[in-house]
Amino acid sequence: MSRPAIAHIRLDAFRHNYRIAKQFHGGKALAVIKANAYGHGAVQCAKAIESEADGFAVAAIEEALQLREAGITAPILLLEGFFEAAELPDIVANNLWLVIHHLWQIEILLAAKLTKPLQIWLKMDSGMHRVGLSPDEYNRAYLRLNNHPNVAKIVLMSHFANADNLNSAHTQQQIEVFKQTVSVLNINNTEISLANSAAVLGWPQTRNFQGLAQQSLPKIVTQWSRPGIMLYGANPLYTNAALANQKELLKPVMQLTSRIISMRKITKGEAIGYGSIFTAECDTMVGVVACGYADGYPRSAVTGTPMAVDGKMTRLIGRVSMDMLFVDLTDIPIATIGSQVELWGDQVPANEIASSAGTIAYELFCNVKRVQFTYTDI
Ligand SMILES: *Cc1c(COP(=O)(O)O)cnc(C)c1O
């Protein structure tokens, strides 16, 4: 038998979550499958929704070409655009859409000799201050690009810094900056894109034809959402009490499991593992699970982090090591060598593991490696 650490990927859950994202937002949805679909397998995830997805978004051309080579013909947006002029012929040949986020890209794009014009997504920095043209630069850039022979269409785009914090006024401020800037352009048939997962779920004013379309931008014809993390079943607003009813909305896509490979009883006062950071307060049955930080389970997870053994909830104890970790089996008498352990998935929300390790579910998913991946769909 091979090492039992497995990431089970449920493609039907991924499809369900995509439908929820689309339904919530009401417009078109680009499924964000950058970074190998947040560690889930980009080609498999893309294929699972290929027939219904409005398009996909990845970080860069390498990720897009992998999808094209696998036969995906749907639109694909490059979220960072291009990094050098040499990519442009492949971007044209593979029919890719690209974000333009800086003036240096505009100079290259306008100087290039292309065989076909490109569809671009012009990104505004409305307040996140990561990438994007400042509101001052934005409209001038739009006017230079619009009707240029290298440019087929321009989608107006921005990204939120704090949409996962429903108490922050920053998201509404960013919406206002975006609206004020683009309303000056006074263009017809505008396509815009603002909402990531947190905005889709928590900010109705960024949804299709609510707020934006009815207020100062009556000429919007299409609004695109860009959901990522929610497609994988992790709600970025999960700590928000007001949205507690969203708990069951999304289905976990990845179930990370392994098995117990060793058991021993330790007596009160004995310690386990590296650093001896866990000392038994009473006689304790300790299980060793074949999964560690080299598989992507976070080393920073603390004693008490939830885990399920044969369907029963229990906890991580001691320090996570590279290939193994410890589980408390004291209250699970049926546990035995070979018992299945869920590290995260249906019973153990990835968001909870993330918070007990001081990180976010995004990072947990992206870090999964070395384990076997299995895919199911129904
Ligand atoms: C990654 C990314 C997204 C998806 O964000 P989630 O929080 O995972 O929904 C959307 N837009 C841009 C520009 C991104 O880089």
Ligand 1 binding pocket mutation candidate from 226, 250, 365 (most atoms within 8 A of CB):
226
Q: Which residues of 227-248 are buried (b: 16+ CB within 10 A; e: fewer)?
A: bbbbbbbbbbbbebeeeeebee
> Residue 159 C-alpha to ligand 1 middle, in angstroms?
8
**pLDDT averaged over every residue in the chain:** 95
- Listed in sequence order, the DSSP H helices in 187-277 are 197-202
Residue 73: the pLDDT is: 98
Of all protein residues, the one whose alpha carbon is nearest to atom 15 of ligand 1 is 79
Q: What is the mean pLDDT of residues 249-275?
A: 97
CA distance 133 to 361: 29
> What's the 373 CA to ligand 1 centre distance in angstroms?
24
Find the mean pLDDT for residues 338-348. Answer: 98
What pLDDT is stored for residue 1 in this prediction? 59
Residue 127, phi then psi, degrees to nearest 5: 150, -5
CB 142 within 8 A of CB 186: no
Question: For 312-339, what is the mean pLDDT?
Answer: 98
SS3 content of the chain, % helix, strand, coil (to 5): 30, 25, 45
DSSP per residue, 330-372:
TT-TT--TT-EEEEESSSS-HHHHHHHTTS-HHHHHHH--SSE
User: Domains of the chain, with CATH numbers?
Assistant: 11-237 (3.20.20.10), 254-376 (2.40.37.10)
**Nearest atom in ligand 1 to 230's CA:** 9
The atom of ligand 1 lying closest to the CA of 229 is: 8
Distance 227 CA to ligand 1 centre (A): 6
Residue with the smallest CA separation from ligand 1 atom 4 is 228
- Is the CB–ligand 1 distance for residue 196 below 6 Å? yes
CA–centroid distance, 285 to ligand 1, in Å, is: 43
- The whole-angstrom separation of Cα 176 and Cα 167 is 17
Q: In angstroms, what is the span from residue 79 Cα to ligand 1's centroid?
A: 9
Q: Where are the alpha helices (DSSP H) in the chain?
A: 11-25, 34-38, 42-49, 61-69, 88-93, 103-111, 135-145, 170-183, 197-202, 350-356, 361-367
H or E element, residue 313: strand 312-317
Output the CA–CA distances (angstroms, integers) from residue 361 to 144, 230, 238, 242, 367, in the order listed: 40, 10, 11, 20, 10
Pairing of strands 312-317, 306-309: antiparallel
Residue 8's alpha-carbon distances to 62, 77, 249, 353, 363, in angstroms, are 25, 27, 20, 17, 18
DSSP, collapsed to helix, strand or coil, labels residue 149 as coil
Amino acid symbol at 62: E
CB-CB neighbours of 262 under 10 Å? 12
Q: How many A from CA of 319 to the centre of ligand 1?
A: 32
How far apart are the CA of 226 and the centre of ligand 1, in A?
6
Known catalytic residues are 34, 274
If pLDDT is split at 50, 70 and 90, which confidence band does 244 have?
Answer: confident
Q: Is the pLDDT reported for residue 245 higher than 80?
A: no
**In which band, very low, low, confident or very high, does the pLDDT at 62 lie, cut at 50, 70 and 90?**
very high
- Select from 58, 128, 196, 238 the residue to mutate for testing ligand 1; criterion: most ligand atoms less than 8 Å from CB: 196
Q: What pLDDT is attached to residue 313?
A: 98
Q: Is 234 in the pocket of ligand 1 (CB under 6 A)?
A: no
- Pocket flag, ligand 1, residue 79 (CB < 6 Å): yes
CB 308 within 8 A of CB 342: yes
Ligand 1 pocket test, candidate residues 32, 80, 99, 128, most atoms within 8 A of CB: 32
Q: Model pTM?
A: 0.96
Atom of ligand 1 nearest to the CA of 99: 13
The answer to whether the CB of 117 falls within 8 A of the CB of 150 is yes
**Is any ligand 1 atom within 6 A of the Cβ of residue 227?**
yes
CA distance to 13, 96, 191, 344, per residue, from 311 (Å): 20, 45, 47, 12
Judged against a pLDDT cut of 70, whether residue 60 lies above it is answered with yes
Please report the pLDDT score of residue 211 as a whole number. 55
Distance (Å) of CA 178 to CA 72, 105, 130, 192, 339: 32, 21, 15, 10, 53
Residues 146-170 have pLDDT tens digits of 999 999 999 999 999 999 999 999 9
pLDDT (tens digit, 9 = 90+) per residue, 201-210?
999 888 875 5
Q: What is the largest CA-CA distance in the chain?
A: 77
Q: Is the pLDDT of residue 86 over 70?
A: yes
The one-letter code for the residue type at 350 is A
Residue nearest to atom 14 of ligand 1 (CA): 79
Residue pLDDT, tens place only, 280-304: 999 999 999 999 999 999 999 999 9
Nearest CA to ligand 1 atom 8: 228
Q: 197: Cβ below 6 Å to ligand 1?
A: yes
DSSP category for residue 180: H
**What tokens were used for 284?**
């304790």
* CB of 202 shorter than 6 A to ligand 1: no
